[in-house]
Structure 1
Amino acid sequence: MREIHVDEIINAVEKLCINANYYLNNDIECGLEKSAAQEKSPIGRDILEKLVDNAKLAREANMPICQDTGMAVVFIEVGQDTHVTGGSITEAINEGVRRGYKEGYLRNSVVRDPINRVNTGDNTPAIIHYDMVQGDKIKITVAPKGFGSENMSGLKMLKPSDGIEGVKNFILSTIDQAGANPCPPMIIGVGLGGTMEKAAYLAKKALLRPIDQHNKDEYYNNLELELLDRINGLGIGPQGLGGTTTALAVNVEVYPTHIAGLPVAVNVSCHATRHAETAI
C-alpha cells in the first residue's frame, strides 16, 4: 500500500488549475492552425488566426486564455493500492482549486446556491468525478469549464425506436440552436447510453480526448466524422460570423443501456477546451 499525503494532491491541483487556464492544449492549437488554412470565409480565417495568436500570447505572458476561467471540473483516478493520508481527498482537491485560482489570478465564477446567487469568492466547490482503478498512483485531470458553452449543452432521453437518426438529429439541432453562443469553433462531446447522468458524464469526459484521436470503434469513428462534416455544413462558422469551421471535433463515448432507453447527451465546449493532467 502506497501512502500519498493530501499536500501532494493540493499542490498538483493548484498547478493544474493554472496550467489548464494559461496553456491551450497542443492538439487544439494545431487544429486551429489547420482549420485556418482550410477556412473558406476570409472573416472566419482571420478569427481563427487571431485565436491562435491569443493562445500564443497567453502562453508567453502566463495569462488566462479567456476571461471566463470556468468552474473547475476534476476527474480523479485513484489507484486501489494507494492510501491518502493527512486529511480528506475531496477537501484537498478543493483547497488546490482555491489556491490555484488565487495564485493564477483566475476569475471566481462559482455561486454558493443556484437561486440565492452569492459568489463563494474562491471558485470552490469543484465538480469532482472519482474513479477507482488498479495500481498505486493517483491521476488528476482538471478541466475548467466556461458556461457560455456549457449553457448550450443538452440531454434527451430518446426511445430506442428513434435510432441513430434520432441521435444525429438531436445533436445537430443542439448545435444549430447554440449558434454563436459557445464562441465557435466548438469541440463537442457526445455521450450515448447508460442512464441520464451516465450519458452526461460520458459527454463531459469525451471532451478530454485529443481532437486528433477518434473513437477506436469503426462505427463510432465514422459517426464522429459524419457529424463533424454535417455540423461544419451548418455555416455558423468561427464566432458565429459564418464559415466552414463551426467545430474542430466531435468526440463520441458510449456505454451499455437499458432495453427501453436511448439516452444521448451533448456537452458543448468552445475552442478553448481546457484541461491539464498529472499523476502522483
Structure 2
Amino acid sequence: MKTIEMREIAALVRRLCMEANYYLPDDLRQAFRRGEEQEQSPLGRQIFEEMIANCDLARENDMPVCQDTGMAVVFAEVGQDVHLSGEGSLEDAVNEGVRQGYTDGYLRLSVVGDPLRRENTNDNTPCILYTSLVPGDQIKITVAPKGFGSENMSAMKMFTPAASKQDIIDFVTDACVNAGSNPCPPIVIGVGLGGTSDKAAYLAKRALLRPVDAHNADPLYAEMEKAILDQVNASGVGPQGLGGTVTALSCAIEPFGTHIAGLPCVVNISCHVTRHAEGTL
C-alpha cells in the first residue's frame, strides 16, 4: 500500500496546468510540420508557419500558447493499492491544484460558478474531473485544458442500430465542416461511439488524448478514422477557416459496448492547440 498526500496531488495538478498551456505535445508540433508540407494553399502554409512559431515562442518563454487557456479537464487514474492521506477529498485536491496553477501561472480565468448567474470564480475552478480505479500503487493525472471555441462545436446524435458506417462518417464530417472557422482549424477530431449518451461524450473527450499520429488498433475503426479525415480535408475549410487542403490533423474514434436498441455518437472537436500534460505520483 502506497500513501499519497493530497498536497502532492494538488502540487502535481498545479504544475500540469501550466505545462499543458505552455508546451504543446511533440506529436502535435510534428503534425504542424506535416500539415505545412501537405497544405496546397500559400496562405494556409503561412498559417502553419505562424502556428509553429507561436508554439515555439510559448515553450521558450513559458507563456500560454493560446489566450483561451480553457476549462481544466482532469483525468485521474487511481491505483487500487494507493492510500490517500490528508484533509479533503481527491476532488478538493485537484481543484486546489487547478486554482494554484491558473493563478500562479497567470493563465486566463475563464470559468463561471453557475451556468446562468455567470459570475467568474476568479480561479478557473471548478474543473471537470474524471476518476477511474486501476491496478497498481500510483496515481496518473492528465490535465487537458479545453477552450470553448472548439468545445461549443460538439455534436451528438443518437443513431439507431440500423445506421451504417457511412452514416456515422457523414455525421462526423458534417459536424466538423459546419464548425467552419470557429474551432480554429486545423482541428483534432475526437469521436465517442457506443455506451450511453454521457459515456459517448466522455469517450469523445478522451479520444483527444491519443497521439495525433496513432490510429485505432481495430482496422474497422482505423478505416473509419481515415475516411472521416479524408472527407473533412476535402471540404476546403482549411487552416483557420480561410481555405485550403488541411482542415483536420487527426481523427480518433473510441468505441464502447452499447444497448441493442441504440448507437450513440458524440463528436468533440479540438482546436489546433490540443493541449494535455500528464504526470504520475
User: Which TM-score band applies after superposition, normalised by the shorter structure?
Assistant: over 0.9
Is the CA contact (8 Å cut-off) linking 2:80 and 2:136 kept in structure 1? yes
User: Which residue of 2 is the match for residue 38 of structure 1?
Assistant: 38
Q: Distance in 2 between matches of 1:43 and 1:29?
A: 19
**1:191 equivalent in alignment to 2:192:** yes
Q: Distance in 1 between matches of 2:165 and 2:103?
A: 45
TM-score when normalising by structure 1: 0.99
Amino acid at match of 1:89: L
Q: Distance in 2 between matches of 1:48 and 1:156?
A: 32
Residue 162 of structure 1 aligns to a residue whose secondary structure is: coil
Amino acid at match of 1:205: R
User: Which residue of 1 is the match for residue 275 of structure 2?
Assistant: 274
Q: Distance in 2 between matches of 1:269 and 1:73?
A: 13
Amino acid at match of 1:66: C
Q: Distance in 2 between matches of 1:163 and 1:77?
A: 34
Q: Distance in 2 between matches of 1:152 and 1:17?
A: 23
Amino acid at match of 1:108: L
Q: Distance in 2 between matches of 1:226 and 1:49?
A: 27
CA deviations over 1:33-89 (Å, ceiling 9, x no partner) = 111011100000000110000000001111000000000000000001001000211
- Shift in Å at residue 162 of structure 1? 1.8
Question: How many residues end up aligned between the 2 structures?
Answer: 280
TM-score when normalising by structure 2: 0.99
CA deviations over 1:85-135 (Å, ceiling 9, x no partner) = 002111000000000001110000000111110000100010000000000
Q: Distance in 2 between matches of 1:182 and 1:279?
A: 31
Q: Distance in 2 between matches of 1:177 and 1:211?
A: 22
Amino acid at match of 1:73: V
- Shift in Å at residue 269 of structure 1? 0.3
- Shift in Å at residue 276 of structure 1? 0.2
User: Which residue of 1 is the match for residue 76 of structure 2?
Assistant: 76
Is the CA contact (8 Å cut-off) linking 2:165 and 2:224 kept in structure 1? no
Is the CA contact (8 Å cut-off) linking 2:161 and 2:263 kept in structure 1? yes
User: Which residue of 1 is the match for residue 17 of structure 2?
Assistant: 17
Question: Percentage identity across aligned positions?
Answer: 57
Gaps of at least 5 residues in structure 1 are: none
User: Which residue of 1 is the match for residue 225 of structure 2?
Assistant: 224
After TM superposition, where is structure 1 displaced by more than 4 Å over at least 4 residues in a row? none
Q: Distance in 2 between matches of 1:89 and 1:153?
A: 28
Amino acid at match of 1:125: P
- Shift in Å at residue 254 of structure 1? 0.3
Amino acid at match of 1:68: D
CA deviations over 1:169-212 (Å, ceiling 9, x no partner) = 21011112101100000000000000000000000000000001
User: Which residue of 2 is the match for residue 157 of structure 1?
Assistant: 158
User: Which residue of 2 is the match for residue 6 of structure 1?
Assistant: 6
RMSD of aligned residue pairs (Cα, Å): 0.6
Is the CA contact (8 Å cut-off) linking 2:44 and 2:239 kept in structure 1? yes
Q: Distance in 2 between matches of 1:222 and 1:177?
A: 23
User: Which residue of 2 is the match for residue 53 of structure 1?
Assistant: 53
User: Which residue of 2 is the match for residue 237 of structure 1?
Assistant: 238
Residue 162 of structure 2 aligns to a residue whose secondary structure is: helix
Amino acid at match of 1:113: D
- Shift in Å at residue 255 of structure 1? 0.2
User: Which residue of 2 is the match for residue 256 of structure 1?
Assistant: 257
User: Which residue of 1 is the match for residue 247 of structure 2?
Assistant: 246
Gaps of at least 5 residues in structure 2 are: none
User: Which residue of 1 is the match for residue 141 of structure 2?
Assistant: 140
- Shift in Å at residue 163 of structure 1? 2.1
